[in-house]
Amino acid sequence: MSSTLRFLTMWLLAAALACPGAALAQDTIKVGVLHSLSGTMAISETTLKDTILMLVDQQNKKGGLLGKKLEAVVVDPASNWPLFAEKARQLLEKDKVAVVFGCWTSVSRKSVLPVFEKDNGLLFYPVQYEGEESSKNVIYTGAAPNQQAIPAVDYLMKDVAVKRWVLEGTDYVYPRTTNKILEAYLKAKGVKAEDISINYTPFGYADWQARVAAIKKFGSAGKKTAVVSTINGDANVPFYKELGNQRISAEDIPVVAFSVGEEELSGLDTKPLVGHLAAWNYFMSDKAPANKVFIDQWHAYIKKPKRTTNDPMEAHYIGFNLWVKAVEKAHSTDVEKVLAALPGLEVPNLTGGVAKLLPNHHVTKPVYIGEVRADGQFDVVWKTSGTVPGDAWSDYLPGSKEIEADWVTLKCGNYNTKTKMCSGQSYK
């Protein structure tokens, strides 16, 4: 008994001695990285963790920030949504990080949102998403629907003269919300209900023959038909394979995807996919000098010359630089001061343009439509003339038309312009 006590005391003493030491050594700024390194999302998210580590490394080589070195704190939420919230709390309360870069799926973002709002943390979210949200504590560096889905549909409608639409998605929140917005948009543009077909399949769906046959049938009614795909994850591979098998070429029925990028294509035989489309705000094949520099840095850092870059990586690049600039402007890493400094800041993106942070916590982005090449890269076939400002609340959904997000003058994420009311945070 006494030996156990002594043992405990010794441990306590040791801990007490170690603690002030840790406090003394705190001349670093901690940067939290909240990306799944195991589980189903690991394939996509590991790359983003490496991106942030690379950016932190580069910033330290430049002499750090405010005279201090940056220190990345990496945690693994393991593709497990409740664990995301737990790890976020750990980063904010225990590690006291100044900023967090993280999350991929919408459900993981929704799960950490209450934590960030309660602890007043700062999260940079790098992935295109369904919108309908603007939190004081989140900076959305990925595309809102009006920066990806709507321009893609516009392109198909105007340049390809598509008259009939198949909205094909995986069964979860992002595709369902996006398709709701697109359906409302198409109907507003005069597309009849019988010319829109919406269908959902589960995650990892593999037996596409009947669905693809149905798409083929829907597309043989004599009107130009396109598929808008919000199919997520590895269900895409058998989907495109079956399209090739049933001889549906991109020239007959093009498929425009919102979740298929260079990373996803790098693991599969792309020959049957040639000509199918993807809408993003960045393509690795972009010829801008900034992009070439970034790709070279990435290859040097990751030590694999064949690794691809993709759109969420660019979003992290923008987000990280925005944060650095805001900290320099505020001369502090305090979240309130950084949040006050952020709106209006401008940083270069990788495609030769400028990303400006708007009062609604979204950024301006150019929109590109690319066609898949045989080598798994994209040829840009259309782009917006300038950048498009991200719109948090869609103008095409009945409930969200009159909602505004403005963290500068209104100080509100969902201000109803009709009732002149701010109904608080958006995660409810």
Closest separation in Å from C-beta 196 to another protein = 16
Q: Measured between alpha carbons, how far is 109 from 385 in angstroms, rounded to an integer?
A: 31
Helix or strand run (H / E) with residue 188:
helix 173-188
Q: Measured between alpha carbons, how far is 316 from 353 in angstroms, rounded to an integer?
A: 16
Choice between 375 and 402, CB closer to another protein: 375
Closest separation in Å from C-beta 7 to another protein = 36
Which residues are CB-contacts of 185 (< 8 A; sequence separation ≥ 6)? Answer: 150, 153, 396
194 belongs to the binding site for another protein (CB under 8 A)? no
Determine which residue in the list 53, 173, 268, 422 makes contact with another protein, applying CB under 8 A: 268
Choice between 27 and 379, CB closer to another protein: 379
Helix (H, G, I), strand (E, B) or coil at 411: coil
Choice between 120 and 246, CB closer to another protein: 246
Choice between 28 and 270, CB closer to another protein: 270
Which residues are CB-contacts of 387 (< 8 A; sequence separation ≥ 6)? Answer: 353, 354, 355, 356, 364, 365, 366
Interface pattern 38-57 for another protein (x via CB under 8 A): ----xx--------------
Determine which residue in the list 64, 114, 238, 348 makes contact with another protein, applying CB under 8 A: 238
292 belongs to the binding site for another protein (CB under 8 A)? no
Among 127, 133, 165, CA closest to 281: 127
296 belongs to the binding site for another protein (CB under 8 A)? no
Closest separation in Å from C-beta 199 to another protein = 7
Helix (H, G, I), strand (E, B) or coil at 362: strand
Helix or strand run (H / E) with residue 32:
strand 28-34
184 belongs to the binding site for another protein (CB under 8 A)? no
Choice between 37 and 422, CB closer to another protein: 37
Closest separation in Å from C-beta 30 to another protein = 28
299 belongs to the binding site for another protein (CB under 8 A)? no
Choice between 129 and 239, CB closer to another protein: 239
Determine which residue in the list 51, 178, 201, 308 makes contact with another protein, applying CB under 8 A: 201
DSSP string covering 54-76, please?
HHHHHHHHTT-BTTBEEEEEEE-
Integer distance in angstroms from the first to the last C-alpha of the chain?
51
Helix 173-188 to helix 106-119 angle (10° resolution) is: 100
Among 186, 193, 176, 182, CA closest to 146: 182
Q: Measured between alpha carbons, how far is 345 from 327 in angstroms, rounded to an integer?
A: 11
Which of these segments, 60-68, 199-207, 358-366, 389-397, binds another protein (CB under 8 A)? 199-207
Determine which residue in the list 77, 131, 151, 254 makes contact with another protein, applying CB under 8 A: 254
Which residues are CB-contacts of 343 (< 8 A; sequence separation ≥ 6)? Answer: 357, 358, 359, 361, 407, 408
CB atoms within 10 A of CB 356: 18
Which of these segments, 24-32, 204-212, 307-315, 420-428, binds another protein (CB under 8 A)? 204-212
Choice between 246 and 423, CB closer to another protein: 246
Helix (H, G, I), strand (E, B) or coil at 358: coil
Please provide residue 407's backbone torsions phi and psi, each rounded to the nearest 5 degrees. -100, 10
Q: Enter the DSSP assignment of 266.
A: T
Which residues in 77-116 contact another protein (CB under 8 A)? none
Q: Measured between alpha carbons, how far is 34 from 136 in angstroms, rounded to an integer?
A: 19
Angle at 167 between CA 403 and CA 362, to 5 degrees: 35
The distance of Cα 113 from the centroid of its chain, to the nearest Å, equals 15
Closest separation in Å from C-beta 289 to another protein = 16
Helix (H, G, I), strand (E, B) or coil at 25: coil
Asked whether the CA dihedral 309, 314, 320, 324 is positive or negative, the reply is positive
Closest separation in Å from C-beta 34 to another protein = 19
Q: How many residues sit in the footprint of another protein (CB under 8 A)?
A: 44
Choice between 39 and 64, CB closer to another protein: 39
Which residues in 205-234 contact another protein (CB under 8 A)? 205-207, 209-211, 213-214, 217, 220-222, 234
Choice between 129 and 240, CB closer to another protein: 240
Determine which residue in the list 269, 328, 336, 402 makes contact with another protein, applying CB under 8 A: 269
Closest separation in Å from C-beta 29 to another protein = 32
Interface pattern 359-398 for another protein (x via CB under 8 A): ------------x-xxx---x-x-----------------
Residues forming the site for another protein (CB under 8 A): 42-43, 160, 171, 199-202, 204-207, 209-211, 213-214, 217, 220-222, 234, 237-238, 241-242, 244-247, 250-252, 254, 267-269, 275, 371, 373-375, 379, 381
